[in-house]
Structures are given as structure tokens and as C-alpha cells.
Copies of this chain bind each other. A is one copy, B any other.
């Protein structure tokens, strides 16, 4: 009867936080959102060139995911050659401040974190 009452977590499907982190936590989503925040509107290949190291496939997949969540708006201009533009939706923009806050935190703490990792490695030598 003395056991602590600890929150039961881990019902992943119904956890909103996890649903969000699952998306922005992947390899490219956050980068794309921050990029679109800077540039307002970008074509597919502009994003591709800007990120540089992303493959076409992952760019397609990631943009679809962001579009399906209503964070990014996709506009197709039916012309030859085709032209597709991407921009943040209001919902996407509403997420932005939190991402920027995280970015700022990352910049402030990165060097210390790297130092911690190096120290941790040494301890397990």
C-alpha cells in the first residue's frame, strides 16, 4: 500500500505529444519547416538544393507527411514543365515559435552537450 502513484504513460497512439514528435522528430521535417519559415514559398527543387543532402525520395515523403498534417500547403501549377510550390499553413506557422525556441536552446547548449558526450565516452574507456 505504500507504493508511489506514478503516472501510467506509454499508450502511444492516444498521446498527442508523441503524435507530434513522431512527425517533427524525423530526419527532415523540422529542417524543412524552418527553411520554409525563412523563405516563405519554395519550389520542390529549391528545397532540394537548399538542404543538399536530402534525397528526392525523402523530400517527397516528408513533404507529403507535412501536407497531410496540414502544416504545409502544396500548390501545383498545371504547366509544362510542372511547377509545384510549398509554403507553411497557419497551423505550420503556429508551430514555428516552439521550434525556434528549441533551436535557440540547442544553440546555447550544444557545446556543453558535446562536451558531456566526450566526457561520457572517456569514462567508459
Partner among B12, B46, B54, B109 whose Cβ is within 8 Å of the Cβ of A94: B109
Please, how many angstroms separate the alpha-carbon atoms of A75 and B121 in the complex? Answer: 18
Chain B CB within 8 A of A113 CB: yes
**What does DSSP make chain A's interface, helix, strand, loop or mixed?**
helix
Please, how many angstroms separate the alpha-carbon atoms of A20 and B121 in the complex? Answer: 18
Partner among B8, B42, B98 whose Cβ is within 8 Å of the Cβ of A98: B98
Chain B CB within 8 A of A101 CB: yes
Find chain B residues with CB under 8 A from A121 CB.
68
Chain B CB within 8 A of A79 CB: no
Partner among B20, B39, B50 whose Cβ is within 8 Å of the Cβ of A102: B20
Find chain B residues with CB under 8 A from A103 CB.
16-17
CB within 8 Å for A113 and B70 given contacts A51-B10, A54-B10: yes
Chain B CB within 8 A of A60 CB: no
A-B contact pairs, 19 of them (CB 8 A): A4-B46, A6-B39, A7-B39, A9-B31, A10-B51, A10-B54, A16-B107, A16-B110, A19-B114, A20-B106, A20-B110, A20-B113, A21-B106, A67-B120, A68-B120, A91-B112, A95-B109, A98-B101, A98-B102
